[in-house]
Chain A
């Protein structure tokens, strides 16, 4: 099956700085790559996603890049704010199954 690795496991940034989280996947057939944000006591919520026919996607302060050749994709958060503090998960999917990374705990220091 698919294997998704996510780094770093923890990340602390000053408010206003950028944060980057990276994931790699193993199955070249994976074709959909969502990113989820999980706040304390809540279930994960989708914040951005990218499909394999696209190299980059941006939504306000959040962007995702995909390199299919290298099999890695990254989440970029610019101008971080304290409310960005949460655990972030990447996933790679093929068909019905989602394979998740182990999560990154992001802390934005005011």
Chain B
């Protein structure tokens, strides 16, 4: 079974703090994604990565950065957390093109910025 794990289920941070959200997948997937999920807005893509050290902006990258130094790990960084970044953050991974299209999601990290 594919497993995508996220470092924290719940996180509370203060405005202005630098926040790291970690995601690890164990199936050697090339592609990894970070989404945020807000009521009424569905899942919105923040960043994705199709290879180590490669990254692409999604629909809402402002205020976020990412790092992928190893294939299995994809980190989301909030450089200076703000209250409007309070949300559920979901990480996902997917095999490279040519195989299954399915995205596998982690359990999510609920971040509260006060």
Show the binding face of A for B, using Cβ within 8 Å.
1, 6, 9, 32, 34, 36, 41-46, 49, 89, 93, 95-98, 100-103
Contact between B42 and A103, CB atoms less than 8 A apart:
yes
Q: How large is the interface on B (under 10, 10 to 19, 20 to 34, 35 or more residues)?
A: 20 to 34
Q: A-B pairs with CB below 8 Å: how many? A: 53
A45 and B92 CA atoms in complex are apart in Å by: 11
Question: How far apart sit A107 and B103, CA to CA, in the bound complex (Å)?
Answer: 25
Q: Is the CB of A1 within 8 A of B102?
A: no
Question: Which residues of B sit under 8 angstroms from A43, Cβ to Cβ?
Answer: 4, 90, 92, 105-108
Contacts of A9 in B (CB 8 A): 40
Given A41-B107, A43-B108, A46-B102, answer yes or no on A97-B45 (Cβ-Cβ < 8 Å).
yes
Query: What 1/0 flags go to B90-114 for Cβ under 8 Å of A?
Result: 1010100100011111111000000
Closest Cβ neighbor of B56 among chain A residues = A96
**B62 in contact (CB, < 8 A):** no
Let me know if B43 and A89 touch, CB within 8 A. yes
